Amino acid sequence: MRNPQLNKHGELQHLLTLDGLPRDVITAILDTAAPFTEVAEREVKKLPLLRGKSIFNLFFENSTRTRTTFEIAAKRLSADVVNLNVSTSSTAKGESLLDTVDNLCAMQADMFVVRHAASGAPVLIAQHLQATARDHIHVVNAGDGRHAHPTQGLLDMYTIRHYKRDFSNLVVAIVGDVLHSRVARSQIAALTTLGVPEVRVIGPRTLLPTEVEKLGVRVFHNMSEGLRDVDVVMMLRLQNERMNGALLPTPQEYYKIWGLTQEKLALARPDAIVMHPGPMNRGVEIDSAVADGAQAVILPQVTFGIAVRMAVMSMLAGQ
């Protein structure tokens, strides 16, 4: 079966997940993103590539940062952007997901950027478009359930490559609530595809998926062991809103054991970088001294995220 994200020429048709995306496609996206970073420093922060294209940000789940960076990316490419907070509109009146999509297609949409609480919603939309012969419309997954958040994974890879140049000698640790994290799944897929020799996940047993080691990672249930000599620390947000039941004692206790402090960070390599997809819970998964410290690259991640999303959208819309 053909990879549903690629067209028959092997080019990117939709961006749904990084799992199974070929290494050369991931590398091409990172290479394409690099020249887009310079646009932000110009007198006129705009490129004409997507002039006349209509992009719909379909957010069935709340998000400020992701929606804003997609919006800025699309606007810097000269696209017309429409933001729909669907949680407060038609869906609340009972319209189905695919009916919403069909209505927006009738308004000549060229691209959907989709965030949904249900894993697989963007795939469903892409399959629906294909089944109804609307291959000229593209779908970008902006985070679905616990499944994937591919543009976050890509901007993380861009950030690592920016600071570390090369993936082939790195030890990367992903720390915290992997169980509920679509970000972690996309990170693991990208890191292993790009040939990072050692990817670690660190967290309490209750917040790691069972058999997570089958994804090709080393599992640690102890911060001091897991962080030793790593080059990159990727923190995850503790996802209170996605938890059902008592997986944790209290946020205070979580911080004591799993929170990233300067003391714990000192176990990593001296030139290790600290990343976080945001929004941060200071004093829960990360200490303020680390979040604002010299090793943190959390704000550059946000800036690179715009360039990566510009690259993805212009590669898709050009197919």
Partner 1 sequence: MQLPDAETLCRQLAAQMRPHVTPDTVLVGIHTGGVWLAERLQQELGLSHPPGAIDVSFYRDDYGARGLHPQPQRTEIPFAVEGAPVIIVDDVLYTGRTTRAALNELFDFGRPARVELAVLVDRGDRELPIAARYCALTLPEPLPASQNLQLEREEDGTLTLRLIDA
**Binding-site ranges for partner 1 (CB under 8 A):** 11, 28, 31-32, 34-36, 38, 42-44, 46-49, 314-315, 318-319
CB of 165 to partner 1, least distance (A): 16
Q: What are the two backbone dihedrals, phi and then psi, of residue 122, each rounded to the nearest 5 degrees?
A: -65, -35
Count the residues in the chain: 319
Give 34 or 219: the residue with its C-beta nearer to partner 1. 34
Q: How far is the CB of 31 from partner 1 (least distance, A)?
A: 6
In angstroms, give the least distance from the CB of 47 to partner 1: 4
Distance of CA 189 to the CA centre of its chain: 11
Residue 301 backbone dihedrals phi, psi, to 5 degrees: -55, -40
Q: Least Å distance between CB 52 and partner 1?
A: 9
- Shortest Å distance, C-beta 314 to partner 1: 5
By the 8 A CB rule, do 157 and 130 touch?
A: no
30 vs 260 by CB, closer to partner 1: 30
Closest CB to partner 1 among residues 20, 35: 35
- In the bound state with partner 1, the residue whose beta carbon lies nearer, of 20 and 318, is 318
DSSP annotation of 12: B
Smallest distance from the beta carbon of 53 to partner 1, in angstroms?
A: 10
What angle (nearest 5°) sits at the alpha carbon of residue 183, between those of residues 179 and 184? 50
